[in-house]
Amino acid sequence: MIEQIISRRLQIPLHQVQGTVRLLREGATIPFISRYRKEATGSLDEVQVASVKEWLDRLTELETRKQTVLTTIEGQGRLTPELRRRIAECWDAVELEDIYLPYKPKRRTRATVARERGLEPLAEIILAQQSRNVVQQARRFVSAEVPTPEEALAGACDIVAERISEDERARNTLRRTFAREGIVHSKLVKGKETEGAKYADYFDAATPLRSISSHRFLAMRRGEEEGILKIAVDVDAEHCIESLRRLFVRPGSATREWMEAAVADSFKRLIRPSIETEQLAAAKEKADDEAIRVFAENLRQLLLSSPLGQKRVVAIDPGFRTGCKVVALDAQGNLLHNTTVYPHPPQGRAAEAAETLKSLAARYKAEAFAIGDGTAGRETEQLVRGLGLEGVEVFMVSEDGASVYSASAAAREEFPDYDVTVRGAVSIGRRLIDPLSELVKIDPKSIGVGQYQHSVDPAKLKARLRTVVESCVNRVGVNINTASKHILTYISGLGPVLAQNIVAYRAANGEFKSRRALLKVPRLGAKAFEQAAGFLRVVGGANPLDNSAVHPESYAVVERMAADAGVTVERLLTDKQLRSGLKAERYVSEEAGLPTVTDILEALDKRGLDPREQLQVFAFDPNVHTIGDLREGMLLPGIVTNITAFGAFVDIGVKQDGLVHISQLADRYVASPADVVHLGQHVEVRVTGVDTVRGRIALSMRREA
């Protein structure tokens, strides 16, 4: 049943969903399924497999909730065959909770007290709407606890109000009204004007619930969490009450007066707060999903940003008072040397710093400089470019998250004898050599490419971002003999324990000579090997296929290809002309279908190639260093550093990123900033506004009229 529901929701043929669900339940990972099990899934891509998994998790959780509901109602002795059937057939979380509401254990309410005082029969009389003299009826319920007929009627109306609030028709009617007409209204908490100045745009803001943007809603929520704002959903109360009257009050009813009172009370005291909370939660979930989607895509682009490659680097973590921390790294990112120079005020030892940097570059044959883009970054860049080192490229590197890494347990484990400043400089250099390998060590929330990432559901965010990291790591693949345990953790089928075991085994036994040698690693069994092997590379091993994306289970296919061509596997891999004559259909079998064989041929063509783009040299305008240097109308080079739903942030070299609003991204309508720009893209922008007080820079990528 779950597979059928997923198929309908995602509009994916049932047999493809069934194959995917079976693999997921067997413990296969998303990268493995989408890359090596295309026959089973009908060639679903990674995004589709992830969607199937998301729905499978959601519906499995709902199934567990249904069992809890059934058990609770059955324990009350109120589970009828019809109720059991309704619950069994229900696959909507909201509908399930509505069914459960009348049976759900609840705290002591006004209706509970009324029932304890024996007023349930009087409530039934009011609900029946037939008695001509309900006051007379109420006298029968007068007691020590209910001294007057009026109090009896009030208690009975409390029961009626609760019944109405638990009615599915009532709740669905008001849900539709809230969704269609609700207005999200944020108001300033009295006396918080100064403290909440950054939320000035939301001191009295109103937006339709149905169309409120993710960033706007999350900003309101953050203001509420900080005690600056109060958020409510405004609706026309009289219209809502009239809708309920039409549902529950019969025209000309003898108990109309009390039914109308119960309806109004039910709306104001019970249903409205409940539906409002529910709708705000739904809006929050929607806003979270959008923010997480934007963050996930930014993270994907950042992790897959262009690497410098294995080159020797001098990295600098700039600073003024404390100096610039300088490290020399080899092509694998190993620390060779560290020192500190003081070229900037207050010390101002620029000539001495220049000589030191020249000497380090020569001694360690540096091919590039990596300079952190934080405090004193542009000044340090200017110094390094002035050295005139021929053949040495200069790059500004984002420092976002470097301080988080340098103070982390991972950094202490790597560099126990060095302080945080040296670790930070190493991280900057390694981020230039291979962004992916370095960024996996940092909590994604600290990398600086999110949108209100600290305001969204942390569990959902963590799960989604881990999926993104796993996707990127497995897409690129890793060298098993140089990979850190941090990046190995994200390889399909491994995890922290096996990653640590691989590194420990490598340290004790030397480099792996083949993929098969992984089976000697403690606790790494056949299942983990199956999941991981295709994403691990052995460079220079005995079998050249070990340095490709071809899975070991398919080596026999390549061997057949080589045999048909009358050459060795190694020759086949190096001769593109030979491979071009191979027909995929010839090698299709029960073990390897056409999608797998096609992927094998593509993998042979791309063997050893990094799928990431080549790193391009970039330089900021040499005349612009601070926000004070900016003038409206300036055309400047910049780098896209963050993409949100409302625009893109661009670094133009003044320590404060400028915003290109979505309306300024192109000379046409732009539905999503991601349609126009990507993270790390080199762009030309025009300065359209500078607010030095608030540190805001407005930019445009549109052609000037």
pLDDT per residue as tens digits for the range 565-618: 899 999 998 888 888 888 999 999 988 999 999 999 999 988 776 788 888 888
CA distances, 226 to each of 36, 160, 192, 627 (Å) = 48, 38, 10, 30
pLDDT per residue as tens digits for the range 669-687: 999 998 999 998 999 999 9
pLDDT in the model for residue 615: 85
- Write down the H helix ranges in 545-647: 555-565, 569-574, 576-580, 594-605
Stretch 469-474: mean pLDDT: 94
Say how far apart CA 559 and CA 608 lie, in whole Å: 19
Is 509 found in the same domain as 395? no
Is 119 found in the same domain as 97? no
Is 355 found in the same domain as 255? no
pLDDT in the model for residue 645: 85
**pLDDT at 124 exceeding the cut of 90:** yes
Domain stops at, among 416, 433, 450? 433
Stretch 517-524: mean pLDDT: 96
**pLDDT at 47 exceeding the cut of 90:** yes
Residue 464 counted as domain residue = no
Domain hosting 317: range is 313-433
Closest alpha carbon to 198 in 701, 592, 696: 696
pLDDT in the model for residue 614: 81
Tell me how many domains the chain contains: 5
Residue 487 counted as domain residue = no
Computed over every residue of the chain, the mean pLDDT equals: 93
- DSSP for 369-419, please give it: EEEESSTTHHHHHHHHHTT--TT-EEEEE--TTHHHHHTSHHHHHH-TTS-
- DSSP for 624-676, please give it: --SGGG--TT-EEEEEEEEEETTEEEEE-SSSS-EEEEGGGSSSS--S-GGGT
pLDDT per residue as tens digits for the range 343-374: 999 999 999 999 999 999 999 999 999 999 98
Residue 307 counted as domain residue = no
Domain stops at, among 570, 605, 640? 605
pLDDT per residue as tens digits for the range 416-460: 999 998 999 999 999 999 999 999 988 887 787 776 777 888 888
Is 234 found in the same domain as 178? yes
CA distances, 409 to each of 404, 413, 593 (Å) = 10, 6, 46
Find the angle CA(297)-CA(298)-CA(301) to the nearest 5 degrees: 85
Is 330 found in the same domain as 204? no
pLDDT in the model for residue 704: 65
- Write down the H helix ranges in 141-182: 149-165, 168-181
pLDDT in the model for residue 600: 94
Q: pLDDT-derived band of residue 402, with 50, 70 and 90 as boundaries?
A: confident
- Contact of 392 with 383, CB cutoff 8 Å: no
Is 205 found in the same domain as 262? yes
Q: What is the CATH number of the domain that holds 646?
A: 2.40.50.140
Residue 344 counted as domain residue = yes
Is 115 found in the same domain as 182? yes
Q: What is the CATH number of the domain that holds 402?
A: 3.30.420.140
pLDDT in the model for residue 400: 84
Stretch 189-216: mean pLDDT: 92
Phi, psi of 658 (to 5 degrees): -95, 160
Both structure tokens of 224: 């509420």
Residue 128 counted as domain residue = yes
Is 120 found in the same domain as 239? yes
**pLDDT at 405 exceeding the cut of 60:** yes
Tokens 């994907």, residue located: 300
Is 76 found in the same domain as 122? no
Pick the residue with more confidence: 133 or 499? 499
**pLDDT at 705 exceeding the cut of 70:** no
Residue 192 counted as domain residue = yes
Residue 484 counted as domain residue = no
Domain stops at, among 605, 640, 659? 605
pLDDT per residue as tens digits for the range 312-334: 999 999 999 999 999 999 999 99
Is 120 found in the same domain as 62? no
Closest alpha carbon to 226 in 185, 192, 273: 192
pLDDT in the model for residue 386: 93
Lowest mean pLDDT among 87-96, 477-486, 572-581, 607-616: 607-616
pLDDT in the model for residue 442: 86
Q: What is the CATH number of the domain that holds 131?
A: 1.10.3500.10
Is 192 found in the same domain as 59? no
The β-bridge relationship of strands 696-700 and 335-341 is unpaired
Q: pLDDT-derived band of residue 56, with 50, 70 and 90 as boundaries?
A: very high
Residue 460 counted as domain residue = no
Q: What is the CATH number of the domain that holds 524?
A: 1.10.150.310
Is 140 found in the same domain as 243? yes
Helix (H, G, I), strand (E, B) or coil at 455: coil
